[in-house]
Amino acid sequence: MTDFSTDQAAGRRYTVNLSILFTELPLLERPAAAAAAGFTAAELWWPWIDAPEPPSAERDALKGAFEDAGVRLTGLNFYAGRLPGPDRGALSLPGEESERFRANIAAAADFAGSLGCGALNALYGNRVDGTDPAEQDAIALTNLQLAARAADRIGAVLLIEALNRAESPRYPLASAPAAIEVVDRVNAETGLGNARFLMDLYHLAMNGEDLPTVIDRYTPRTGHVQIADNPGRGAPGTGSLPLADLLRRLDKAGYGGWIGLEYKPGDGPSAAAFDWLPPADRAAR
């Protein structure tokens, strides 16, 4: 089994993605389940798939679930359509979906800020038939500037993520350099400097990128890291990625941010999907 001993993991901060783990439970029960598994931090995709601006009572209930469990919200996606599902974000889409994204910006930032969340992830969105890619990129840049300003208002970073071509063939940010280019463009336009790269090692591995080179080159511009093994998007040790070595390389590169556990739990309950990580290393220090 991959070696994630306490000494190797010293100082790392892990956060559990409650949109892909513990999904066998109702949403409001997941923060407590993460706490029972030993974690003190969690992240989420936007949990109201059809509601960019959900009723305040629903937002308050989820906020209370985090607070009651003693779990910190460390990352939140802006509205991105159907996740999991065919959608890969909304901010670059023309028409109604882009309007839904803009309507969500304040709601997502306010909810994240109410829980001290320091990172908001903006998925770029798929290419659309019949629409010029340049038009989509212009829409994206406008919306990302709005999102960056909303994130800045709550003291958060704006994350830009690369996905993989096999699972998201119409998503244009399918490499680390492509995502970094957008990060740089947003920072140049806003002058805020709070747009950062979301380094998802699973997606980058699926794209065949040289992960040690990506880590060495882009860690200083990275605001968040997510992991899953490959193939299969399972827990570390279920595939062939040398995740322990890659995390050590991130340590040496100076990364001190959150490491999101964004993997599928397999056939068993989610609580059984953390055997690779010693209990003493699950709670954030």
Q: What is the CA radius of gyration of the chain?
A: 18
Give me the phi and psi of 208, to 5 degrees please.
80, 20
161 is catalytic: yes
195 has which bridge partners?
Answer: 158
Cis ω before 172 (30° cut-off from 0)? no
209 is catalytic: no
* Residue of 43, 97, 209, 262 marked active site: 262
The number of C-alpha atoms within 13 Å of 196 and in the hemisphere containing its C-beta is 23
* Residue of 43, 97, 161, 209 marked active site: 161
If one counts every other C-beta atom within 10 angstroms of the C-beta of residue 247, the result is 22
Determine the 3-state secondary structure of 79 from DSSP.
Answer: coil
Instruction: Name, in order, each residue with C-beta under 8 angstroms of 131's C-beta and a sequence gap of 6 or more.
Output: 94
Please give the positions annotated as active site.
161, 262
